[in-house]
Amino acid sequence: MKKVYGSAAEALEGVLFDGMLIAAGGFGLCGIPELLIAAIRDAGTKNLTVASNNAGVDDFGLGLLLQTKQIKKMMSSYVGENAEFMRQYLSGELELEFNPQGTLAERMRAGGCGIPGFYTKTGVGTVIAEGKEVKNFDGQDYILEKGIFADLSIVKAWKADDTGNLVFRKTARNFNPPAAMCGKICIAEVEEIVPRGSIDPDHIHLPGIYVHRIVQGEHEKRIEQRTTRKRETA
């Protein structure tokens, strides 16, 4: 089965459709599938629901799809760095489903494991619990959260072999593996494709059985928030 494609646009061919649910990996601007996001923008696919920890910034990451108003709904934990997101949400143009970070990650992982739902204490007694089933276990209340079953997963890895075994680098390892697991189709963009068998099996973070298509490309290294201090003088 061929998994390696020549470009992000080629990898997305025949996969995209209006109104689909996409699970996107990454954390802040670290480990985000920027090439695939740009290709989705260029494809013009609209009315998207996107499950992602955050929504990028105004001119990068998922912020590109917000600029073109291709996203109808976000399922996110943190959206504080995107002015266009705030504008669309406050004006009623964008739907938002807030999820605690751990809950969002577990909802993706659960979907990847075929688990339709699970109970958690996180969010009990808050707006997160509104409209959700509450069940008591050993005297403690828990709320029911549903697994995420996405039409498409888009993720960014450090390296892969041609069978789709993935290795993530540092912080990029947090949301990318569960996001990759929960999609009917998973497309991974990587910095390097190495020969089959060259990755130590103990170093594989996500087995290739979850990955359907791979694209290699150049990636921009951005700093989401640069903090500096004035140089002290004697």
- Write the pLDDT tens digit of every residue in 162-183: 999 999 999 899 999 999 999 9
In angstroms, the CA 62 to CA 55 distance is 5
Structure confidence at residue 80 (pLDDT): 75
Structure confidence at residue 57 (pLDDT): 85
In angstroms, the CA 191 to CA 1 distance is 21
Q: DSSP string spanning 8-75?
A: HHHHHTTT--TT-EEEE--BTTBS--HHHHHHHHHHT--SEEEE-SB--BTTBTTHHHHHTT-EEEEE
CA angle 130, 134, 135 (to 5 degrees): 170
In angstroms, the CA 89 to CA 218 distance is 32
Residue matched to tokens 């590109």 = 64
Measuring CA to CA, how many Å separate 159 from each of 63, 75, 196?
25, 27, 12
38-47, 71-80, 107-116, 189-198: least confidently modelled range:
71-80
Separation of first and last alpha carbons in the chain? 65
Structure confidence at residue 224 (pLDDT): 64
Structure confidence at residue 122 (pLDDT): 96
Structure letter (DSSP) for residue 222: -
Three-state SS annotation for 138-204 = CCEEEEEEECCCEEEEEEEEEEEECCCCEECCHHHHCCHHHHHHCEEEEEEEEEEEECCCCCCHHHC
Q: Is the pLDDT at 54 greater than 70, yes or no?
A: yes
Structure confidence at residue 222 (pLDDT): 67
Structure confidence at residue 1 (pLDDT): 75
- Write the pLDDT tens digit of every residue in 170-228: 989 999 999 999 999 999 999 999 999 999 999 999 999 999 999 998 877 766 667 77
Structure confidence at residue 68 (pLDDT): 95
Structure confidence at residue 56 (pLDDT): 84
Q: Which domains does the chain have, with CATH numbers?
A: 4-116+153-216 (3.40.1080.10)
In angstroms, the CA 124 to CA 117 distance is 16
Give the three-state DSSP class for 90. helix
- Write the pLDDT tens digit of every residue in 89-142: 999 999 999 999 999 999 999 999 999 999 999 999 999 999 999 999 999 999
**Burial letters 176-206, b for 16+ CB under 10 A, else e:** bbbbbbbbebbbbbbeeeeeeeebeeeeebb
Residue 64, CB-side half-sphere exposure with 13 Å CA sphere? 17
Residue 10: pLDDT band by 50, 70, 90 thresholds? very high
Residue 48: partners with Cβ closer than 8 Å, 6 or more residues away: 18, 19, 20, 21, 22, 40, 65, 70, 71, 72, 73
Residue 150: pLDDT band by 50, 70, 90 thresholds? very high
Structure confidence at residue 109 (pLDDT): 97
Structure confidence at residue 223 (pLDDT): 67
Structure tokens at 159: 């390296």
Q: Is the pLDDT at 31 greater than 80, yes or no?
A: yes
Residue 81: pLDDT band by 50, 70, 90 thresholds? confident
In angstroms, the CA 117 to CA 111 distance is 8
Q: Is the pLDDT at 234 greater than 70, yes or no?
A: no
Structure confidence at residue 108 (pLDDT): 98
